[in-house]
């Protein structure tokens, strides 16, 4: 484990809280906190782009702050720093992440959202630091 990774207990707390949260709040350096839907795997994955949620500055950010709210009170359960990286539409993790994002979309209007997201959207991986 490097000095930049959370210890196992903290990582477990981040994973459990974030996995259960319906949304997270992302703060890009110099920006305001923005709510964002996500899926959790080994990190939080966020979809942005036309017709999707907007998180200004996320594309250029190397790291962001993530706050995970309580479903009961709305207060912050845990806050963590994340390294931001873009998921390549042709990369090995793309199919699994897109599948998870699609599973959360009960009323997806487009006939081929995965192709639309690959062409016009971005998926970002927020890895706990």
Identify the CA nearest to 101 among candidates 68, 78, 83, 124: 124
Give residues with Cβ within 8 angstroms of 14, minimum separation 6. 6, 68, 78, 80, 128
pLDDT, averaged across the chain: 88
Over residues 17-28, the pLDDT tens digits come to 999 998 999 999
- Mean pLDDT for the stretch of residues 95-107: 81
Which pTM was predicted? 0.88
Starting at the edge strand that comes first in sequence, how are the strands of the sheet with 63-69 ordered? 34-36, 24-27, 63-69, 76-86, 122-128, 44-48, 39-40
Over residues 45-78, the pLDDT tens digits come to 999 988 889 999 999 999 999 999 988 888 899 9
Strands 63-69 and 122-128 come out as unpaired
């Amino acid at each position: 484990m490097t000095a930049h990774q959370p210890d196992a207990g903290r990582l477990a707390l981040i994973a459990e809280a974030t996995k259960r949260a319906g949304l997270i709040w992302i703060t890009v350096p110099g920006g305001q906190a923005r709510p964002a839907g996500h899926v959790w795997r080994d990190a939080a994955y966020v979809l942005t782009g036309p017709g999707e949620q907007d998180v200004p500055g996320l594309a250029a950010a190397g790291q962001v702050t993530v706050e995970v709210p309580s479903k009961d009170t709305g207060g912050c359960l845990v806050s963590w720093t994340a390294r931001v990286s873009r998921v390549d539409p042709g990369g090995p993790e793309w199919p699994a992440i897109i599948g998870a994002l699609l599973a959360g979309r009960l009323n997806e209007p487009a006939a081929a959202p995965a192709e639309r997201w690959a062409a016009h959207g971005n998926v970002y991986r927020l890895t706990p630091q």
